[in-house]
């Protein structure tokens, strides 16, 4: 009887110890691994990222073990390639290892629309150590050239029918040199360039439509298939929730908001403008669009993307925006 009793007690103790050891042991293992950082994603209303600042050293990899405590989120370091973006699914753990070659401050952000305050879901990775810091981005064009990116920019003239870059290419030899310079593209809206070309004596014999074809040709030269592809992906991932998949300004996140108008401007959150109205984008220069994307604000809910997107990524988005405008001409 005594032997049975002892054995029974040992069995109970052993099983209970096992039951306790599994979670406790797991916890201890997690905490003891210094280079692994547990990061919980939560909507900003729920607390946002569980760590707002992460420390790292140059050249030393850090592993982020991420999970979401509520809805689907995503993780990316600002200005990084879209291929490195990671989805964070509730209840599951995803790992990503980052190594920084330059000291400095890096922004990390949520890449999946998770609620009305999704665009506030940022954190910082502070990288210390030897080495040259990352080269700073050039000063935004709108600041360099003192452009007012809040001024209205509706195009006064738009093409009567869809312009063709192929047709415009025929006139290449007739064009003044400045037409194909990058600065011309950056600082002029398509409508601006059309006006300037319309007044060129050398092009007086061309029809209005011919000149639009030239403008289209100029615009197309400044982009590429790869850039367009990146632009579409970035637009759909980051902008479509507010701007709508077609750019009409009717995204899920802005339903119920009033339209942009003289009365609402600067007073409350409004819907984005309708990019499928050619007047809107054909009157804006790439420099203006770049400024809006970098700075945001404008008295609307437009977030500031300067820390999040690289200049190349912004250019490819702008290239896609013009495609939306050209394609909406009937």
Partner 1 sequence: MNRLDLTRSPLGMSLLRGRWPQFLLRAVTLAGFIFTILAGLFGSVVGSHNFAIIFVWVAWWTALKLVFIPFGGRSWCAICPIPMPGEWLQNGGIMRRRGGAGLGLGKRWPKALKGTWMQAGGFLLIGLFGAVTLTSARITAIVLLFILALALVLSLLFERRSFCNYLCPIGGFTGLYAQAAPVELRVKDPEICAVHEEKTCYTACPWGQYPLALKTSANCGLCMECLRVCPSDNLAVNLRPWGSDLGPKTKPRLDDTFLALVMLASALIDSAVFLGPWGQLKQAAYTIGSAGWFIFVAAFLAVGLVILPGLYALSVRLAQGAEQTWSDLRKHLAYYSQVLIPLGLMAWIAFTTSFAFVKFGYVLPVVSDPLGWGWKLLGITRAAGVGQVTTFSLILQVVLLMVGLFWSSRVARRISASARQAAPLIGFSSLFTLAMLWLLIG
Site residues (CB under 8 A) for partner 1?
1, 4-5, 8-9, 11-12, 15-16, 18-20, 22-24, 26-27, 30, 65, 67-69, 89-93, 95
How far does Cα 239 stand from its chain's mean position?
A: 7
> Least distance from C-beta 109 to partner 1, angstroms?
22
> Least distance from C-beta 98 to partner 1, angstroms?
18
Is the Cβ of residue 49 or residue 275 nearer to partner 1 in the bound state?
A: 49
Is the Cβ of residue 255 or residue 262 nearer to partner 1 in the bound state?
A: 255
- Name the DSSP class of 116: T
Angle separating helix axes 225-234 and 311-327, nearest 10 degrees: 90
Cα dihedral angle (99, 102, 103, 106), rounded to 10 degrees?
-70
Decide if 164 contacts 216 (C-beta within 8 A). yes
Is the Cβ of residue 49 or residue 235 nearer to partner 1 in the bound state?
A: 49
How far does Cα 51 stand from its chain's mean position?
A: 22
Strands 36-41 and 104-109: unpaired
Query: Helices then strands (H, E): number in the chain?
Result: 11, 8
Is the Cβ of residue 20 or residue 174 nearer to partner 1 in the bound state?
A: 20
Is the Cβ of residue 61 or residue 90 nearer to partner 1 in the bound state?
A: 90
SS3 of residue 113 by DSSP: coil
> Least distance from C-beta 8 to partner 1, angstroms?
4
Please list the residues that pair with 77 across neighbouring strands.
108
> Least distance from C-beta 94 to partner 1, angstroms?
8
Decide if 122 contacts 107 (C-beta within 8 A). yes
> Least distance from C-beta 115 to partner 1, angstroms?
17
> Least distance from C-beta 184 to partner 1, angstroms?
53
Helix (H) or strand (E) run with residue 326 in it: helix 311-327
Is the Cβ of residue 26 or residue 61 nearer to partner 1 in the bound state?
A: 26
SS3 of residue 39 by DSSP: strand
Distances (CA, A) of 316 to 5, 13, 232, 322: 76, 64, 8, 10
Q: What angle do CA 67, 39, 311 make, to 5 degrees?
A: 100
Is the Cβ of residue 27 or residue 160 nearer to partner 1 in the bound state?
A: 27
> Least distance from C-beta 63 to partner 1, angstroms?
12
> Least distance from C-beta 93 to partner 1, angstroms?
3
Is the Cβ of residue 23 or residue 138 nearer to partner 1 in the bound state?
A: 23
């Amino acid at each position: 009887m005594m032997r049975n009793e002892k054995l029974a007690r040992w069995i109970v103790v052993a099983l209970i110890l096992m039951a306790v050891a599994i979670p406790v042991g797991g916890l201890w293992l997690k905490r003891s691994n210094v280079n692994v950082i547990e990061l919980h994603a939560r909507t900003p209303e729920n607390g946002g990222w569980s760590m707002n600042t992460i420390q790292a050293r140059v050249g030393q990899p850090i592993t982020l073990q991420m999970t979401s405590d509520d809805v689907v989120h995503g993780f990316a370091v600002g200005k990084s390639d879209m291929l490195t973006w990671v989805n964070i699914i509730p209840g599951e753990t995803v790992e990503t290892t980052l190594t920084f070659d330059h000291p400095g401050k890096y922004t990390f952000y949520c890449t999946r629309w998770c609620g009305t305050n999704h665009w506030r879901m940022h954190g910082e990775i502070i990288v210390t150590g030897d080495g040259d810091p990352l080269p700073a981005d050039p000063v935004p064009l709108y600041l360099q050239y003192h452009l007012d990116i809040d001024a209205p920019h509706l195009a006064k003239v738009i093409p009567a029918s869809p312009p063709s870059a192929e047709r415009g290419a025929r006139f290449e030899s007739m064009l003044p040199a400045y037409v194909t310079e990058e600065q011309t593209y950056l600082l002029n809206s398509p409508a601006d360039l059309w006006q300037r070309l319309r007044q060129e004596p050398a092009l007086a014999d061309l029809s209005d439509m011919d000149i639009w074809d030239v403008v289209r040709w100029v615009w197309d030269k400044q982009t590429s298939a790869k850039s367009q592809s990146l632009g579409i992906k970035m637009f759909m991932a980051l902008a479509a929730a507010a701007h709508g998949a077609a750019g009409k300004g009717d995204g899920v996140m802005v339903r119920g908001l009033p339209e942009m108008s003289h009365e609402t401007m600067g007073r409350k959150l409004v819907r984005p403008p309708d990019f499928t109205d050619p007047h809107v984008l054909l009157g804006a220069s790439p420099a203006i669009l770049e400024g809006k994307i970098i700075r945001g604000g404008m008295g609307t809910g437009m977030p500031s993307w300067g820390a999040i997107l690289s200049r190349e990524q912004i250019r490819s988005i702008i290239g896609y925006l013009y495609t939306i405008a050209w394609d909406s001409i009937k």
